[in-house]
Amino acid sequence: MKLAFLGLGVMGYPMAGHLRRAGHDVTVYNRNAAKAAKWVEEYGGASAPTPAAAARDQDIVFCCVGRDSDLRAVTLGKDGAFAALKKGALFVDHTTASATIARELSAAATAAGFEFVDAPVSGGSAGAVNGKLTIMCGGTEAAYARAEPVMAAYAKQQKLLGPSGAGQVTKMVNQICIAGIVQGMAEGFSFARASGLDIESVVEVISKGAAQSWQMENRYKTMMANEYDFGFAVEWMRKDLGIVMDEARRNGASVPITALIDQFYAEVEGMGGKRWDTSSLFVRQEAARKKS
């Protein structure tokens, strides 16, 4: 198929690569043209100077950028992709963004004669590199049916959750749960240290029971080693939790623990941890314990 991919960040770069390795004709766009040139050198395909140039005449355009403002710029802004997409095309957005902009872009796509799927991902950079992402989708059944076999190049699981915006809301649920689990681990491990227990032994036992989680299996060793250069950065988690709280104000949901953990992440940023991964809540927890 003729595809474009907009945004070659830590997630988009390998995702676009998987599409190319699957045999598709892929054109990429990135704000930093040097990174797009590097991608072309590694994978082949082509690069374009603007989102519109990348999107022109493509069957499906994929996108993975940072925030709502970035997404609006590459779709509706000057030289944006939506003005160039042909009728009958499909736009698939992997950005973790608000449900509001997903619905806005879906309506704009429908008015212009093409389809839109909001499809945020979970699995981190390792999932993107290994082609093992979980993809949460919102849109029509017909649009999802077109996207699903192509996204399979980098997905271990994907599902249509409902109409436009449903993928983004599901990603919000994902982030709420992750934040709570990581804070629970930070409190539990700090409590264990205060009690003089051996963390390795504690995890060996509790990870075989109801406390088991992906975060415990994959992050406890780096937490104990005080290493936080893995996975999802604190500044991006705060962006996502901000989206959650905005949506909660809109839909009336109560998210007090999420709001509190966002404050804890703000403290981590104040400790110099803006780019630390999300398990760095343990740093804050230990600092609070040592003060008491």
List the catalytic residues.
171
Among candidate residues 238, 275, 272, the one with its CA nearest the CA of residue 284: 272
Q: Is 90 helix (H, G, I), strand (E, B) or coil?
A: strand
Rounded-to-integer distance, Cα 44 and Cα 82, Å: 25
Using a 10 angstrom Cβ sphere, with 0-12 exposed, 13-18 middle and 19 or more buried, the burial of residue 134 is middle
DSSP states along 204-267: HHHTTTTT--HHHHHHHHHHHTT---SSSBHHHHHHHHHHHHHHHHHHT---HHHHHHHHHHHH
Using a 10 angstrom Cβ sphere, with 0-12 exposed, 13-18 middle and 19 or more buried, the burial of residue 125 is middle
Find tokens 């998987």 and name the residue.
18
